[in-house]
Amino acid sequence: MVKPSGQPEPDARTRILDAADAVFVRHGIDGARMQEIANQAGVNKALLHYYFRSKADLARAVWLRIASSFAPGVLQLLASDIPLEDKIDRVVEAYYGTLTKHPYLLVYVISEATRHPKLVEEIYTPERKLAARGMIATLRRQLEEKARVDNTAAISAEQFLVTLLGSCLFPFVARPMLTTVLGLGPDEFSKFIDKRKRDLPLFLKRALRQ
Amino acid sequence: MVKPSGQPEPDARTRILDAADAVFVRHGIDGARMQEIANQAGVNKALLHYYFRSKADLARAVWLRIASSFAPGVLQLLASDIPLEDKIDRVVEAYYGTLTKHPYLLVYVISEATRHPKLVEEIYTPERKLAARGMIATLRRQLEEKARVDNTAAISAEQFLVTLLGSCLFPFVARPMLTTVLGLGPDEFSKFIDKRKRDLPLFLKRALRQ
DNA sequence: GTCTATATGGCGATAGAC
DNA sequence: GTCTATCGCCATATAGAC
């Protein structure tokens, strides 16, 4: 996922992992071919088995790399003590960068997580479990505080989280459907996303105040 | 997807299509095995090829059936002239029924649509294209009317649509991640969805007024 | 139409030279 | 560590009897 920035060719193992990343994300684990990964890495198929015993092991390695780099940033952001309304901006901002560049990434994570739920638990370490609880607690505190000040009923932290994530992530999940239904070309989709980056925080904040 | 309701066994072709539906939705096209479909349909593997030439053709037939039955209802709902705020309730209501019963359906549609965008165009007939345009136009009109009355800036119809759909559909898209992060068991997830069915319309309506 | 048996090809995986 | 060559399986697909 993260491309090498320096000049020297990365070693074979790294090239394989990068290639596997690209191919698995593009085609899903079942749809990926070891041959294609080998080609893209510029090595022989046998070398994949030398470094990673089997396709399943390679897929697992890729999954760990991707899934680990996916959530923590946003989780930490949401768990922090910055004001609730700022969080909205920051979450929107944080996701839209990488997801624009990697159109298949989110669908890969979702489909593999859905079809092999064990993969999710594998990256859900005790520390992360704790962090997630803390994040929810912080969110709840902020929402209750807001409700107290505005003298309204507090919104459920879990519900708010899902609405926030859903609103942010859905365009990248349903991209082909949306571009077709809305009649958008590739660059029009970009414009749509740009506009959304500005509009969505306003919309959500409006729902929050009173 | 639609299970037979009457007593008599459906004919083999139908049974195959139903079985293929279940297996493709569960495992994705690449992950599905013809043998499993045959077993589930109670027929021999060869019969699948008798009715549908190849796996690809069978997958295509299933896709057409599912995708066709998926959008039209909601599309029609959104295009109708019922008040905007009522639409929110109805959309939420409409999706949550089937998606609760078919946990893999949405992820299947999304992943296949993403990896094979041609499949999307195949179900996007001229009539549906027209209907989609009309739906957006109606939505825009309603949002502008609302803005005029409230004396505020109108929200983009496209953006509103995506927010509405995203908020509704995301829990079913990200279910395994959410249950893990929020620490929900299967029946707690149901409760979460029930609560969401009540809360989400309120939240969205609040963002709309003023 | 539905079955049994078989062909065909592709893919993951291994052996072994260098 | 990296390659070439090859194995063995398994999934799709077909032939042909009933």
For residue B71, is pLDDT > 90?
A: no
User: Considering the entire predicted model, what is its pTM?
Assistant: 0.95
For residue B4, is pLDDT > 70?
A: no
B136, B152, B177: which to substitute to probe chain A, counting the most A Cβ within 10 Å? Answer: B177
CA atoms of B70 and B109, how far apart (whole Å): 9
Q: What amino acid occupies position B207?
A: A
Whole-number Å distance, CA A67 to C1' D10?
31
* Residue at a domain's end among B35, B53, B71: B53
For residue A99, is pLDDT > 60?
A: yes
* Strand nucleotide closest to residue A56 (CA to C1'): C12
For residue A3, is pLDDT > 70?
A: no
Same-domain check for residues A31 and A122: no
pLDDT in tens, A177-186: 999 999 999 9
- Say which residues have a Cβ less than 8 Å from residue A134's Cβ, sequence separation at least 6: A79
CA atoms of A99 and A106, how far apart (whole Å): 7
CA atoms of B57 and A95, how far apart (whole Å): 37
Cβ atoms within 10 Å of A110's Cβ, excluding its own? 22
For residue A138, is pLDDT > 80?
A: yes
CA atoms of A171 and B169, how far apart (whole Å): 11
CA atoms of B13 and A29, how far apart (whole Å): 30
Cβ atoms within 10 Å of A69's Cβ, excluding its own? 12
CA atoms of A208 and A150, how far apart (whole Å): 10
B170, B172, B196, B199: which to substitute to probe chain A, counting the most A Cβ within 10 Å? Answer: B170
The bases of strand C with some atom under 7 A from any protein CB are 1-5, 11-16
> Does B130 or B70 have the greater pLDDT score?
B130
The answer to whether B201 touches B89, Cβ cutoff 8 Å, is yes
Which candidate, B4, B53, B9, B59, places its Cα nearest to that of B29? B59
User: CB A31 to CB B115 under 8 A?
Assistant: yes
% of chain A exceeding 90 in pLDDT:
83
Helix (H) or strand (E) run with residue A33 in it: none
Return the HEC string of A40-84.
Answer: HHCCCHHHHHHHCCCHHHHHHHHHHHHHHHHCHHHHHHHHCCCCH
CA-to-CA separations, A196 to A9, A168, A189, B146, B153, in angstroms, rounded? 38, 9, 10, 20, 15
Angle subtended by helix axes A105-115 and A12-31, to nearest 10:
60
> Does A31 or A8 have the greater pLDDT score?
A31
Model confidence at B97, pLDDT cuts 50, 70, 90, reads confident
Same-domain check for residues A81 and A155: yes
User: CB B210 to CB A207 under 8 A?
Assistant: no
Same-domain check for residues A82 and A160: yes
Number of domains in chain A: 2
Same-domain check for residues B135 and B38: no
User: CB B182 to CB A158 under 8 A?
Assistant: yes
Model confidence at B70, pLDDT cuts 50, 70, 90, reads confident
CA atoms of A106 and B93, how far apart (whole Å): 26
Same-domain check for residues B149 and B190: yes
Range of the domain at A117: 55-208
Same-domain check for residues B170 and B93: yes
A91 DSSP assignment: H
Model confidence at B72, pLDDT cuts 50, 70, 90, reads confident
Cβ atoms within 10 Å of A202's Cβ, excluding its own? 13
Give the residue-averaged pLDDT of A182-209. 94
The bases of strand D with some atom under 7 A from any protein CB are 1-5, 11-16
How much is the mean pLDDT over chain B? 93
Give the residue-averaged pLDDT of A81-110. 93
Return the HEC string of A121-174.
Answer: HHHCCHHHHHHHHHHHHHHHHHHHHHHHHHCCCCCCHHHHHHHHHHHHHHHHHC
Same-domain check for residues B12 and B89: no
pLDDT of residue A6: 61
pLDDT of residue B69: 83
- Say which residues have a Cβ less than 8 Å from residue A109's Cβ, sequence separation at least 6: A66, A67, A70
pLDDT of residue A2: 52
The answer to whether A104 touches B114, Cβ cutoff 8 Å, is yes
pLDDT in tens, A73-85: 899 999 999 999 8
For residue B5, is pLDDT > 70?
A: no
Model confidence at B49, pLDDT cuts 50, 70, 90, reads very high
Same-domain check for residues B35 and B103: no
How much is the mean pLDDT over chain A? 93
What is the largest distance, in Å, between two alpha-carbon atoms of chain B?
A: 66
Same-domain check for residues A89 and A35: no
Cβ atoms within 10 Å of B119's Cβ, excluding its own? 20
Which residue from B minimizes the CA distance to A170? B166
* Token pair for A161: 């989280």
pLDDT in tens, A40-74: 999 999 999 999 999 999 999 999 999 888 778 89
Q: What amino acid occupies position B138?
A: T
For residue A87, is pLDDT > 80?
A: yes
pLDDT of residue B209: 79
pLDDT of residue B79: 95
DSSP assignment of B37-85 equals HHHHHTS-HHHHHHHSSSHHHHHHHHHHHHHHHHSHHHHHHHHSSS-HH
User: CB A114 to CB B104 under 8 A?
Assistant: yes
* Token pair for A9: 């060719």
Same-domain check for residues A44 and A70: no
pLDDT of residue A163: 98
% of chain B exceeding 90 in pLDDT:
84
The answer to whether A1 touches A69, Cβ cutoff 8 Å, is yes
Same-domain check for residues A77 and A166: yes
Whole-number Å distance, CA B47 to C1' C5?
14
For residue B10, is pLDDT > 80?
A: yes
B35 DSSP assignment: H
Give the residue-averaged pLDDT of B7-29. 95
> Does A111 or A72 have the greater pLDDT score?
A111
Residue B3, domain CATH: 1.10.10.60
pLDDT of residue B210: 61
Same-domain check for residues A35 and A70: no
Residue B181, domain CATH: 1.10.357
Whole-number Å distance, CA A128 to C1' C4?
54
* Residue at a domain's end among B53, B75, B93: B53
